[in-house]
């Protein structure tokens, strides 16, 4: 989740439009993080499933913030 924190900082400092290269790069990296979280197999463990769910929510919230800043 270190990468996610770095991406969140990038989103917080982002100023621009959805067509900007920086926007597209941040969006792509966040999407890759979502895919990585989706590929985690909790193997029936509730703690792993909850951690994955929390991670997905965090990344989705960061993506939403990025979209709002770019409007």
In CATH, what number is assigned to the domain containing residue 32? 1.20.58.120
Q: Domain range for residue 30?
A: 2-69
The pLDDT value recorded for residue 51 is 96
List, for residues 2-55, the tens digit of each pLDDT value: 999 999 999 999 999 999 999 999 999 999 999 999 999 999 999 999 999 999
Tokens of 39: 């590929």
The predicted pLDDT at position 24 comes to 98
The total number of structural domains that make up the chain: 1
41: left (phi over 0), alpha (psi -120 to 50) or beta: beta
What pLDDT does residue 25 have? 98
Per-residue pLDDT, 27? 98
Report the pLDDT value the prediction gives residue 71, as an integer from 0 to 100: 85
User: Distance (Å, rounded) from C-alpha 13 to C-alpha 15?
Assistant: 7
* C-alpha gyration radius of the chain: 13
Given this model, what pLDDT does residue 1 score?
75
């Amino acid at each position: 989740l270190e990468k996610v924190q770095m991406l969140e900082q990038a989103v917080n400092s982002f100023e621009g439009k959805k067509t900007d290269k920086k926007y597209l790069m941040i969006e792509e990296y966040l999407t890759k993080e979502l895919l990585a979280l989706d590929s985690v197999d909790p193997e029936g463990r509730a703690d792993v499933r909850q951690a994955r769910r929390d991670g997905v929510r965090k990344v989705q919230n960061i993506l939403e913030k990025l979209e709002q800043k770019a409007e």
